[in-house]
Amino acid sequence: MSWRSVIITRPSKLSLKNNQMQILQEEVWSVPVEDISALVIESSQVVVTEGLLSKLCENNTVVYICDHKHIPNGYVLPYYQHSRTLKIIKEQINLTEPFKKRIWQEIVKQKIVNQAYVLMCIGKHDVEKRLTSLVSQVDSGDSKNIEGQAAKIYFESLFEKGFTRMYDNIFNACLDYGYTILRGAVARSIVEHGYIPCLGIHHRNELNNYNLADDFIEPFRPIVDLWTAQNIGINDEFNTDIRAFLVDLLNYDVIIAGRRQSVGNAIGILVSSFTTSIQMKDYKKILVPQVVPLERHSYE
């Protein structure tokens, strides 16, 4: 089971030897490919061999390519490896609108529940109750955009009054980075399960190759929010240590299907449950994560 996140911040050559990723810098390090769930390449002076990239794809490792601000701006994902990809794609294409709206309702409700929990964790109990009261108002397809109403209340309470996701500050840098890491992990799982990433259930932007990932990421976003709210100050520098912590959130706990799982495992469980929901024609079979106090998952 892949669990390790590797971040390359300095000039390096990455190659494959004996099923190990070799990292050549001033010294040489080796990491078993089967252990790597995510590889983040931040330095513009990194050479990666084709053999390693191919092996990473076989392992369903997601490789993140970063821009000059160290924000991931691209993914390398494995090509469709599911044994019944055509069957899965046909089912995905033929999903009815009522079914998709019900799935979206379940996702939005849990996202708001998780946001309310984040506010409780940072002592914003009054606002937590306001958000909790909105959950019951989320209807099929969220036609009243309760998600958007909750987001406005949530972010102003999480950081500061008047805060928006448009600000250029350390908080939004952390959120952007953390969300992008999650998005890549979700996209990897979607491809692994045979789905077309651009074909969403709610998100439908024709310019977006990852609409379905943007659907499934929603209940996971509050994990990044909670870590940022608890660990970042307005004057902090967006440095390598912070980025490493954000990548490592893939290895933190959530509860899904009544059990503690790492975020990375929970993503796979959610996507797998989507398949179950489709095959049983029951939107209630979708499994969504519950945020818990931040704690690194034990793989023992």
pTM comes to 0.90
Answer whether 289's CB lies under 8 Å from 259's CB: no
Answer whether 113's CB lies under 8 Å from 135's CB: yes
| Ranges for all domains in the chain classified under CATH 3.100.10.20 | 4-76
Amino acid at 27: E
Residue 215 to residues 34, 218, 243: CA-CA distances in angstroms? 28, 6, 24
| Ranges for all domains in the chain classified under CATH 1.20.120.920 | 85-296
Distance CA 184, CA 224 (A): 14
**Homologous superfamily of domain range 4-76:** CRISPR-associated endonuclease Cas1, N-terminal domain (3.100.10.20)
The three-class DSSP label of residue 93 is helix
Residue 161 neighbours by CB under 8 Å, 6+ apart: none
pLDDT at position 18 is 95
Q: Return the structure tokens found at 258.
A: 């009544």
The helix or strand, by DSSP H or E, that contains position 37, with its residue range, turns out to be strand 36-41
pLDDT at position 1 is 58
10-residue block means of pLDDT along the chain (300 residues)?
Answer: 84 96 95 94 95 92 89 82 79 96 98 98 94 97 97 89 81 94 94 92 94 98 97 92 95 96 96 96 97 90
CATH number of 85-296: 1.20.120.920
